[in-house]
Structure 1
Amino acid sequence: MHPSRRAFLAGSGLLPLMVPMLEQSVSTAHAAEDGPIRRAIPSSGETLPVIGIGTSRRYEVEPVPEKIAPLREAVRRFVALGGSVIDTAPSYGTAEDVLGLILSQDGLREKVFLCSKVGATGREGGAAEIARSFRRLNTDRIDLVAVHNLIDTTANLATLRELKARNKIRYLGVTVWRDSQFADLEAVMQRETLDFVQVNYAIDDRTAAERILPLAKERGMAVMVNVPFGRDRLFKAVQGRDLPPWTAEFDCTSWPQFFLKYVLAHEAVTCPIPGMAKAAYVEDNLGAARGRMPDAAQRTRMEAYVDAL
């Protein structure tokens, strides 16, 4: 998360965290009175809270108590407020080790939908990397493992299917993080049976909505969204600006919620995974998973506002 976000949080109020949910404009959303909106994984019907945590960069710290403490507090707060999805990868430095230490306490592992990736090449290389993730995460089961950046997709998906058959993982998928990968991603989505895809999508990076998100809906694939806050430009663009008054129409009280609600308002999106390294960020971000979502006209207005910055 961009450092300037601290300024926005300092001046922003948070949505009430325990209020009856209002009717959602997105038909796939399911709300609970005391928790965030949940959406279904198409391949199983299992529902997930619609905001998760991404661990790239922010959880790549030295695995010592003083470095882990604020991250542990963020995860505890996340779970307490009804969150469950946490995404990591072997390539995120020490993030798997750090997350494994955090989840080993307070019964957190049983409350988290744990996701990792595989980015090695060859059947042996991929299997070895996944085995290492199990050790680093200190778990005997990972909920979702996805092929990272479409690396050796055929070999790695074969390994993941074997692990799924053995109940070592529950779901499998693939990930990308930039628009130039979309043609290859589309080809994989057309030929493979996947539970999840992970893709970059934000109010200032809308290309995924043209073909990838509709295809995911058509093919029955859940969609995780990485970089939902864009690539630094969004927070810089709104720095020092007040929210437009019309954002109250969809229960938005901060810029992070503005960006997340835009992403969540797309019916194909299951769960964006912004980085959250502090409990204050968790509380603000999860506010986006409550209340009304912008409708089509409001989303168009949001786009026009951001495009004009």
Structure 2
Amino acid sequence: MKYRYNRDGEKLSVLGYGCMRFTKTGGTIDLAKARREILSAVERGVNYFDTAYVYPGNEEALGLILEQTGIRDRVNIATKLPQYLIRSSAAIEKDFREELKRLRTDHIDYYLMHMMTDYSQWENLRRFGIEEWIQEKKQSGEIRHIGFSFHGNTDMFLRILNAYDWDFCQIQYNYLDEHTQAGRAGLEAAAAKGIPVIIMEPLRGGKLVNLMPEKAREMVRNHPSGRSAAAWGLLWLWDQPGVTCVLSGMNSVEMVEENCRLASEAEAGIFTESDQAFIEKLKEEIRAYVKVGCTGCRYCMPCPSGVDIPGVFRCYNHMYTESRKEGRHEYAQTIGLAAEPGFGSRCVRCGRCEKLCPQVLPIRDLLREADRALRPLPYRIGIGVVRKILLRKPKS
């Protein structure tokens, strides 16, 4: 196992264990199977285990397994405050106490504000005294490191990143999402501040392995390196020095063994120019199935009407490269849950974007088409309901 370091010089395994994907049987986590997989990972040097308050049964399972096996002190537990559910200062403390109980521990090593999408969410937490609460917990040792996980656009990520003295952060990042969500710009901004970056969805939930177009699969099979699709995705991340730890939702001992083997090769700068060129060709092949030829260059931004043009097209393309459900979920989460949602419907057809687009895309027509596809009536209603819950301002 290779290791990189946090701001205190403590070692973090370059491969982290994403516990969300523990195997379930009849809706219940298979504890015996999860135990075998966790032990296998720890024996091979994995020391970062990620869970969350809202993953059903997940914290309880991890806590029980660590207690029964006596390995709590050999690992770092990362879990998350469901900031979108918080409505009072008391609720912060209540949820945290419940997490300690579930995890059967007296401290959390890495504690995150879960699923931040907009700066307004951090403002709400500040109104509830989150900064003072964090300071208290760090002084008592109940929280060792504080961070946030993020699912929004780059600009919002940078605002949140610069709003507090974070110890670490967690972003969705992979070679297909290089310039979306926090993106490479966010990764490098965090690295420039010396903030460790934890990577989630390194293989897009397995889609960069299981749902690749056939020609892309063939390219991987025929490459002289013999690397698997998963290896290309993981090594692309570890090649970047700003990446501290890559989470993998491992749910078999075989997967643990293979990913740990790959992690033993995890060196910054491991990719050659030829490797980088191959990744670019792989991306081109995958993107051949996209609906809109938007490269995410952002020359069209900012939109005077507040439309997140690259974000809309990214989600629209997800409907074709992955599934309708995935594209609509991405649209709802990353655009619909912003304080000022950049829906395509906000377009007033001024035409400024089309004059700036290097791809000469008919952006105005495509925005209307994309918004209709991404936000059919049930989704419009659902987004509205969720916005009222997650973005509701606290009473003063």
Tell me which interval the TM-score lies in, with the shorter structure as reference length.
Answer: 0.7 to 0.9
User: Does 91-100 or 184-193 show the bigger shift?
Assistant: 184-193
Letter in 1 for 2:66: L
1:304 counterpart = 2:281: yes
Q: 1:44 aligns with which of 8, 18, 29?
A: 8
What's the RMSD between the two structures over aligned residues? Answer: 2.3
User: Does 183-192 or 197-206 show the bigger shift?
Assistant: 183-192
Shift in CA distance, 210/106, structure 1 to aligned 2, threshold 3 Å: closer
Shift in CA distance, 45/105, structure 1 to aligned 2, threshold 3 Å: same
Does the 8 Å contact 1:147/1:157 carry over to 2? no
- The runs of 5 or more residues in structure 1 that have no matched partner are 1-35
Does the 8 Å contact 1:223/1:270 carry over to 2? yes
1:295 is matched with 271
Shift in CA distance, 62/52, structure 1 to aligned 2, threshold 3 Å: farther
Does the 8 Å contact 1:40/1:46 carry over to 2? yes
Shift in CA distance, 153/61, structure 1 to aligned 2, threshold 3 Å: farther
Q: C-alpha distance in 2, partners of 1:191/1:247? A: 43
Alignment of 1:170-181 (within 5 A): 170-176=144-150, 178=151, 180-181=152-153
Q: CA deviation at 1:78?
A: 0.1
Q: C-alpha distance in 2, partners of 1:136/1:61? A: 20
Q: 2:223 aligns with which of 236, 241, 245?
A: 245
Secondary structure of the residue aligned to 2:69 is coil
1:80 is matched with 43
Q: Deviations over 1:2-27 (max 9, x none)?
A: xxxxxxxxxxxxxxxxxxxxxxxxxx
Does the 8 Å contact 1:62/1:94 carry over to 2? no
Shift in CA distance, 163/95, structure 1 to aligned 2, threshold 3 Å: same
1:276 is matched with 250
Q: 1:192 aligns with which of 164, 168, 183?
A: 164
Q: 2:68 aligns with which of 105, 130, 153?
A: 105
Does the 8 Å contact 1:257/1:284 carry over to 2? no
Question: Please, what TM-score do these two structures have when normalized by structure 1?
Answer: 0.79
Q: C-alpha distance in 2, partners of 1:169/1:246? A: 47
Q: C-alpha distance in 2, partners of 1:104/1:261? A: 33
Letter in 1 for 2:71: L
Shift in CA distance, 159/307, structure 1 to aligned 2, threshold 3 Å: farther
Secondary structure of the residue aligned to 1:97 is helix
Highest Rg: 1 or 2? 2
1:234 is matched with 208
1:260 counterpart = 2:234: yes
The structure where helix makes up a greater share of residues is 2
Letter in 2 for 1:182: T
Shift in CA distance, 59/219, structure 1 to aligned 2, threshold 3 Å: farther
Question: Please, what TM-score do these two structures have when normalized by structure 2?
Answer: 0.62
Does the 8 Å contact 1:146/1:174 carry over to 2? yes
Higher RCO structure (Cα 8 Å, ≥6 apart): 1
